[in-house]
């Protein structure tokens, strides 16, 4: 069966420090992968999506970046964190052709920038 | 542009009553409409979905209806229970080249015992 792993679960980082969040998917190949951010008490904001290795598209300009070095690995990074980067970061995947087409989300990373 | 509106933003019901959440979408090309439930501190989880060729779908106490002409869709929860308390997100899948999903802003449902 397909599973999605995301880590770390929680993270407290000082302003100006770097960030690396990792997401991996098991049990499938060639998934579409997504990074979402959810501010406290707010909705889901799409940050990046990837349809294949090395293919990254950004939805919102910001100081974050994403990379997909392997088919089932998706990484969210920042060189220098801002206070506004705090939030709940969710990785999600979808397998094109799978019915239904709903996302499966990872367990999330709660990031607090102090 | 692409947009999904959702109402109400908060909803409080007595246990056993019904709850209804309504959404509208802007892009007529949307053809798949999932609903997600997010409990406090947890990930959103898909609870039910509907495709554009279907007007209604039911799964035990939850049902979704779709009016494609009016671009409205709704979630109905009957016989609500305290464990139904959560934030509910409606969404529309635009079926672009990368399966873009637009989420509504969410409805915080509280079921009072």
Over the stretch B30-75, which tens digit does the pLDDT of each residue have?
Answer: 888 999 999 998 999 999 999 888 899 999 999 999 999 999 999 9
The minimal CB distance from A32 to the residues B51, B98, B105 is found for: B98
The answer, for B84 touching chain A at a CB cutoff of 8 Å, is: no
The answer, for A49 touching chain B at a CB cutoff of 8 Å, is: yes
CA nearest to A91, candidates A78, A109, A77: A109
Residue A1 has pLDDT above 80, yes or no: no
Cβ(B99)–Cβ(A101) below 8 Å: yes
Q: Which residues of B touch A106 (CB under 8 A)?
A: 43
Q: Inter-chain contact A105–B34, Cβ cutoff 8 Å?
A: no
The Cα of B105 is separated from the nearest Cα of chain A by a number of Å equal to: 5
Average pLDDT over residues B4-22: 97
Average pLDDT over residues A93-111: 79
pLDDT bin (cut points 50, 70, 90) of residue B98 is: low
Distance CA B13, CA B19 (A): 7
What residues are paired with B89 via a beta bridge?
B36
Residue B70: per-residue pLDDT: 93
Q: Which residues contact A111 (CB under 8 A, 6 or more apart)?
A: A10, A11, A12, A13, A19, A21, A85, A86, A87, A88, A89
């Amino acid at each position: 069966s397909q599973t999605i792993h995301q880590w770390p679960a929680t993270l407290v980082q000082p302003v100006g420090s770097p960030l690396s969040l990792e997401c991996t998917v098991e049990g499938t190949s060639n998934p579409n992968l997504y990074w979402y951010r959810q501010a406290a008490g707010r909705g889901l904001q799409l940050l990046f999506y990837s349809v294949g290795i090395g293919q990254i598209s950004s939805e919102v300009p910001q100081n974050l970046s994403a990379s997909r070095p392997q088919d089932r690995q998706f990484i969210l990074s920042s060189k220098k964190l801002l206070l506004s980067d705090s939030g709940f970061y969710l990785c999600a995947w979808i397998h094109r052709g799978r019915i239904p087409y709903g996302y499966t989300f990872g367990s999330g990373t709660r990031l607090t920038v102090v | 542009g692409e947009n999904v509106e959702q109402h109400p933003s908060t909803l409080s019901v007595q246990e056993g009553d019904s709850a209804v959440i309504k959404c509208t979408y802007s892009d007529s090309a949307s053809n798949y409409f999932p609903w997600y439930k997010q409990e406090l501190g947890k990930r959103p989880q898909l609870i039910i979905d509907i495709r554009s060729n279907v007007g209604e779908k039911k799964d035990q106490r939850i049902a979704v209806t779709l009016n494609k002409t009016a671009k409205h869709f709704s979630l109905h929860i009957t016989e609500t229970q305290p464990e139904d308390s959560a934030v509910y997100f409606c969404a529309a899948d635009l079926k672009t080249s990368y399966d873009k999903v637009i989420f509504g802003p969410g409805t915080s449902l509280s079921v009072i015992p």
